[in-house]
Structure 1
Amino acid sequence: MKSGILLLLLISLSMFTCRQPSKYIYNQGYIYGTNYHIVYESPEGKDLQNEITDLLNGYNKIFSTYDSTSVISKVNNNKPVELHPLFLRCYNRAMEISEITGGAFDITAGPMVNAWGFGPEEKSKMTKEIVDSLKAITGFHKVKLQNNTVFKENPNMKLDMSAIAKGFTSDLVGEFLAKNGCENYMVEIGGEVVARGKNEKGRVWTIGISKPDEMAFFASNDIQAKVHLPEHALATSGNYRNFYVEDGKKFAHTIDPKTGYPVQHSLLSTTVLADSCIDADAFATAFMVLGLEKSIEIAEQTPGIKVYFIYVNGEGENDVYLSEGFKEHLVK
């Protein structure tokens, strides 16, 4: 009897001494041509960087247009490929959001973006003829998914999920952390954020929305607003940093898939709060295409999203529109 009690005591002590205390881990790296930052409370203090890197490398092999062997590159180059389940998830949600936004969000618009000088390829000297030729191979309704295969009306059409894949990947990394017992974490990939629980100081995660000013990045007070993010995803899109001036005219990186030209309207930046980052990412992009009035209309009709828009008002000054549900998340 005594030996049994002693054995139980030794096992209990062994379990107690082997269990490590939880601690917050900070990981960072590079994916999809951008930086990522991940913070999480690891239940036993384990650094999951290697596992996360393996995951991200796997996602890169699905969604990266820079990798000629990726799933999306093989689709674009009309090569036989088995579509990964994650590709199908992202593709299907992209098509749903394209329908909701009337084509403002469109994963076939990549060649347009590249031609205007906002992609990896050399900028073209844009003419009406070039724009018309690009419009002929653009349009989400011109691609179909049948029998696990993407069919394109024109073989020259290219898919580009960069405006939704970063958000989707943030969701996937968040799911991985949750499965590994992490109740408190923040995942940020290229500005697309997923957060749960609290930070190392025991406070709700707080994310800043930048001022839509090309010089604000270099200023000490570049934050327009701060948002509490206890269990949500957030994404911001804007034209105030990614642009160029040619012949005295400013060209921003948001291209309207329907017209083939950079957008010209009062909206400076769009921030979307949603339950998933795949939605926040895609809707933020679509709203930058649509402009203020149409974006407000769609946001009001779409369950599960809340918005914060910065725009130029009739007096030429920056102004803010935010949906009712967004207000409760603002840091006072």
Structure 2
Amino acid sequence: MTDSTQEIQKIQLSGFAQGTTWHITYYAQDSIVKKKQVDSILFQIDSSLSIYKPFSLISRFNASKNGITVDDHLAAVVKKSIEAWKQSGGVFDVTIQPLVAAWGFSAKHVKKYPDSAKVRSLLQCIGTDKIKIEGHRLIKTKPCITIDVDGIAQGYSVDVIADFLEQNSITDYIVEIGGELRIKGRKKPGNEKMKIGIEAPGDYVFESPVIQKIITVDEGAVTTSGSYRKFHENNGKKFSHIIDPQTGYPTQNDLVSVTVYAHDAITADAYDNVLMAMGLQKALAFAEQRNDLAAYFIYKTPNGSIADTASSRFYRLLGRGERGRGK
């Protein structure tokens, strides 16, 4: 039995998974959760969700004609993806994988980008309405359907680790994987609220002033999607890793990055991509309509300068009632 008089310690763990780093800070009387346990969980998730592993369940599904039996990880992510597809009007679409691969944002590099005929051909294999979960089976209606859950898997992974901490009676923590994070509780022993900093994208640090916000919350998740993070350049023109499932082409709009706050990281991770794809005005209206999201936007103005704005719920997280320069 743990000595109730024992002091609360700050425990920090870190490692490498999913092509990025992860960090966990939690407060407890002892190191209840170990690094090897976290590594084991993340390996299990990768064995289900990673398109970069040929033995993973998602790779097996993509290679199948009709579908496969899936585990709880892939089932949970697909169910959330179907929900996000419906609620976003088709903007979020995990069946976009053939187009993501064609534009060189998947496991293999490409030597040339698809022409309009190729894009039209690939669009025949796109649509979340062409997949469904029945019991423990993930079914596709066309053999050419393949999925890519990279836009949601990291947030899901954060949630799984956070849930594991809570199952071990840890109630004060920060879990971060590749910049996506979920927090709960307060810092010990001072009982201060957790603070999350949001900085300007690296490509725009020359702008003055550099945009930076700090939000203070007791519980929730924060994720960010940005055109500055993953992009290709062709003939001097940058194009985003976010592909429009309606047109088959990379999105082109005024947004530089979107940061989303939600109750859990899988929700925040899905909708930061949705909002990035929509462009500022549609994204702001979408965020305002939902009481489960708060969003912060960094965007490029018509004259080329960088500005920021946010949904009303996000301004309340800032706690100062401030308004962005873009409003």
The structure with the larger Rg is: 1
Find 2:93's aligned residue among 101, 106, 109: 106
Q: Which amino acid aligns with 1:91?
A: V
* Percent identical residues: 34
> TM-score with structure 2 length normalisation?
0.89
Unaligned runs of 5+ in 2: 321-327
What is the deviation of 1:16?
A: 7.3
The separation in 2 between residues aligned to 1:316 and 1:147, in whole angstroms, is: 51
2:323 corresponds in structure 1 to none
What is the deviation of 1:215?
A: 5.3
Deviation string for 1:106-145 (max 9, x for gaps)?
Answer: 1111221222122221124221122122212111112122
> Structure 1's 260 and 17: CA in aligned 2 closer, same or farther, altered over 3 A?
closer
- Identify which range, 51-60 or 223-232, moves more after superposition: 223-232
2:306 corresponds in structure 1 to 318
Counting matched residue pairs gives 316
Structure 1 ranges of 4+ moved more than 4 A: 15-20
Deviation string for 1:152-210 (max 9, x for gaps)?
Answer: 23212211111111101111111111111111100111211100112356422222222
Find 2:275's aligned residue among 261, 267, 287: 287
2:218 corresponds in structure 1 to 230
The separation in 2 between residues aligned to 1:68 and 1:222, in whole angstroms, is: 42
Find 1:35's aligned residue among 21, 29, 36: 21
1:203 aligns with 2:201: no
Find 2:235's aligned residue among 233, 236, 247: 247
Does the Cα contact within 8 Å between 1:308 and 1:321 map onto a contact in 2? yes
1:122 aligns with 2:109: yes
Find 2:317's aligned residue among 323, 329, 332: 329
Q: Which amino acid aligns with 2:231?
A: F
Unaligned runs of 5+ in 1: 1-14
Does the Cα contact within 8 Å between 1:105 and 1:282 map onto a contact in 2? yes
> Structure 1's 203 and 156: CA in aligned 2 closer, same or farther, altered over 3 A?
same
RMSD (Å), alpha carbons: 2.4
Q: What SS does structure 1 have at the residue aligned with 2:203?
A: coil
Q: What SS does structure 2 have at the residue aligned with 1:28?
A: strand
> Structure 1's 229 and 17: CA in aligned 2 closer, same or farther, altered over 3 A?
closer
Q: What SS does structure 2 have at the residue aligned with 1:214?
A: helix
1:64 corresponds in structure 2 to 50
> Structure 1's 204 and 145: CA in aligned 2 closer, same or farther, altered over 3 A?
same
The separation in 1 between residues aligned to 2:274 and 2:99, in whole angstroms, is: 15
1:5 corresponds in structure 2 to none
What is the deviation of 1:224?
A: 2.0
The separation in 1 between residues aligned to 2:154 and 2:236, in whole angstroms, is: 33
> TM-score with structure 1 length normalisation?
0.87
Matches for 1:1-332 after TM superposition, within 5 Å = 21-78=7-64, 81-126=68-113, 127-200=115-188, 202-214=191-203, 216=205, 224-330=212-318
What is the deviation of 1:18?
A: 10
> Structure 1's 260 and 270: CA in aligned 2 closer, same or farther, altered over 3 A?
same
